Structure 1
Amino acid sequence: MKKIQGLILFACAMVTSVAYAITLPGPVVNAEWLANNLSAVQIVDVRSDITSFGRNPEFVTDKASGKKSLSEVGGHIENSTLLNFKNARVERLVDGRKVKFLIPEQADFEKYIQAAGINANKPIILVPVGQDISDVDEALRMYWQFKVYGENQVAVLDGGMAGWLADGRTFVTSAATKQVGNWVAKSARKELIAGSEDVANASKTGAAQLIDSRLPMQYFGTSKKPDIGAYGHIAGAKEFSPDLLTKSVNGALYFFKPETYSALLIANGIKPTGPAISYCNTGHLASGTWFIVSELVGNKSIQLYDGSAYLWTLEGRPLQGVPLN
């Protein structure tokens, strides 16, 4: 009997060992690391244009040099799971009001992730398209949502699919698998989420730095998105444009080193340390700022204002900007 129990314990230990056979090197992995560890991780492709998942990429050839360069991402890394970003955020009731663009409730997020075929106890590598900061931030928003619901073994592929293709690495155009996964969400980590009252307090007292993650014309109020009820930014906020989050190399977007981000934050009047809240129009681009400050710079005191300027103005709260004609 003891021998049988010993064998059972050994088998359980082996399963656990296999499940955690690899530790991610950090919140960002490069293509070489991923290529060397494909079988040890779950590759989760995050994009809104899901038809491109099964479409061949497009390249252009320079007539003078004959060099090929990527013009449009298509296909995916073999054995990738597809997450449709259009379903990543949902409409929820907040104080009796319907509010769009929010993180799903725990059970709904778990169902969404399981439906994509994602499993527990195996590291997750999020792969953005990687050609525009908006699509990079799709993966970073998913990273934040995974973190909110307790997933620690998650990272983002630097350069995304664009970088993978630009390097000449192999891809496939097969359809996404339909199997159901067993990933389990934990109770929400409230410390990662800021609400409207947190933002109002930060605006009034300076208890936390407010970081506006939108383009200058939206920050200053010369233009706005249709869903936003007013022009300008929340009083006291400092701007950190999404253009500052990445560098372009061969048509793919890559992250800077942490010290570069610290210098950029300081140059924009933002302290790299201490309590902070990032926001944008709807909580999409703000995910990029949250990721940079929290995961790369290492300031774990930053929160993301889910709903952002959309929720703020929906509640009738004021923005300030330059005088308009």
Structure 2
Amino acid sequence: MRLWKQVAATTLAWGLAAASALAQALPGPVVNTAWLAANLDKVQVLDLRGSAKSFTTDPEFDEVKGKKVVDEVGGHIAGSRLMEFKTIRVEREINGNKVKYMVPERAVFEKMVQDAGIDGDKPIVIVPVGLSLSDVNDGMRLYWQFKLYGEDKVAMLDGGMAAWLQEGRPYVKDALVAKVGNWKSAADRTAQLFADSTDVAAIVEKKSAQLIDGRELPQFHGLMKRDYVYAYGHIDTAKPLSPDTTYKKDGSAIKLLSANTYRGVLQAQGIDPAAPSVVYCNSGAQSSLPWFILSEVLGNQSAKQFDGSLHQWTLEKRPLVGAVSLN
């Protein structure tokens, strides 16, 4: 009888542990507003914005063709923690060059996350502003940094705060209360997810992977460039993935496409969704959505991001090709 009770107790403990793990499970790398609303008590909401000011102000709405849309995001989901996008990337010295907009070193990022009040016991849902593609890329960039440092219980809110507000879901304007969390980096996946300029140069020489340029076509073709990129054109052998083919608009909210649609979009632009790939852009933000599409939506585990992107590449005076004459 004692043995039976012991087995029963053990079975019950296993069952409770499994139920607890299941309760903490995310449905995937992307969640929608309905799922988040139903599971707010099971996750940590991490709001990512360009400025903290709107965290405590009312949103502004407009009406387009009889539908309420968000003109300016304001307020936040109750219980949200906050990070400002400008704080999550840093300047690092690489081979004698000061390279901007890089992922922080592991210990630095860990402290950033802790200072934002994030703990290690619940999944994290990143909520970008969601009004522009750059908002989405900002969120994807933070997601990539979490994955780089070993966090698997993380997801993106499709449509961001714009979708939440557009649907009339509740928001609050409480001031953020300072809190230090206990989140820890579980691993360093630099070898798996991060590419540097030496890796990219080897790919150009050996054609060992496909390079994907996530910038707008005028930049790819060298008709224009950002001021922190010091040459025109693109890296040799790179294929462009036009940003305007990577999302849809629902009212004012930027949302993702289906996996099947993404597969077709990539193939239509000459990109193999399953091939080893390195994505880049100007500074490593705009390429975060292409990386997310390949790695997280389509399951390509050989997708990496060239973090320094063309800022680092041209700082090192490495060549670009394909610039169209402006004369």
Band of TM-score, shorter chain: over 0.9
1:21 alignment partner in structure 2: 23
1:87 alignment partner in structure 2: 87
Cα distance in structure 2, aligned partners of 1:208 and 1:239:
14
1:111 alignment partner in structure 2: 111
1:267 alignment partner in structure 2: 268
Question: Any unmatched runs of 5+ in structure 1?
Answer: 1-6
Aligned counterpart in structure 1 of residue 53 of structure 2, from 51, 54, 57 = 51
* 1:36 and 2:26 correspond: no
CA displacement at 1:49 relative to structure 2: 2.2
Cα distance in structure 1, aligned partners of 2:195 and 2:104:
15
**Per the alignment, do residues 164 and 191 of structure 1 end up closer, same or farther by CA in structure 2, a change over 3 Å counting?**
same
2:5 alignment partner in structure 1: none
Aligned residue identity for 1:33: W
1:69 alignment partner in structure 2: 69
CA displacement at 1:97 relative to structure 2: 2.2
CA displacement at 1:137 relative to structure 2: 0.7
Q: How many residues align?
A: 315
Give the SS at the match of 1:130: coil
Asked if the contact 1:106–1:187 (Cα under 8 Å) also holds between the matched residues in 2, the reply is no
**Per the alignment, do residues 302 and 156 of structure 1 end up closer, same or farther by CA in structure 2, a change over 3 Å counting?**
same
CA displacement at 1:188 relative to structure 2: 1.7
CA displacement at 1:47 relative to structure 2: 1.2
Asked if the contact 2:97–2:315 (Cα under 8 Å) also holds between the matched residues in 1, the reply is no
Cα distance in structure 2, aligned partners of 1:77 and 1:185:
25
Cα distance in structure 2, aligned partners of 1:100 and 1:115:
22
Asked if the contact 1:19–1:122 (Cα under 8 Å) also holds between the matched residues in 2, the reply is no
| 1:39-188 equivalences in 2 (<5 Å) | 39-61=41-63, 65=66, 67-188=67-188
Give CA-to-partner distance per residue, 1:243-298, whole Å, 9 cap, x none: 22210011101111101011010111111111100000000011110001110011
Give the SS at the match of 2:98: strand
Asked if the contact 2:217–2:242 (Cα under 8 Å) also holds between the matched residues in 1, the reply is yes
Cα distance in structure 2, aligned partners of 1:47 and 1:176:
13
Q: TM-score, normalised by structure 1?
A: 0.92
Give CA-to-partner distance per residue, 1:13-33, whole Å, 9 cap, x none: 979975773210000001100
1:217 alignment partner in structure 2: 218
Give CA-to-partner distance per residue, 1:136-173, whole Å, 9 cap, x none: 01110000000000000000001110000111100111
Aligned residue identity for 2:43: V
Asked if the contact 2:212–2:277 (Cα under 8 Å) also holds between the matched residues in 1, the reply is yes
Cα distance in structure 2, aligned partners of 1:275 and 1:162:
34
Give the SS at the match of 1:139: helix
Give the SS at the match of 2:165: helix
Cα distance in structure 2, aligned partners of 1:163 and 1:206:
41
CA displacement at 1:324 relative to structure 2: 2.4
Asked if the contact 2:68–2:166 (Cα under 8 Å) also holds between the matched residues in 1, the reply is no
* 1:229 and 2:230 correspond: yes
Cα distance in structure 1, aligned partners of 2:305 and 2:187:
17
1:3 alignment partner in structure 2: none
Give the SS at the match of 2:61: strand
Asked if the contact 1:246–1:254 (Cα under 8 Å) also holds between the matched residues in 2, the reply is yes
Give the SS at the match of 1:21: helix
Aligned residue identity for 2:206: T
Asked if the contact 1:20–1:122 (Cα under 8 Å) also holds between the matched residues in 2, the reply is no
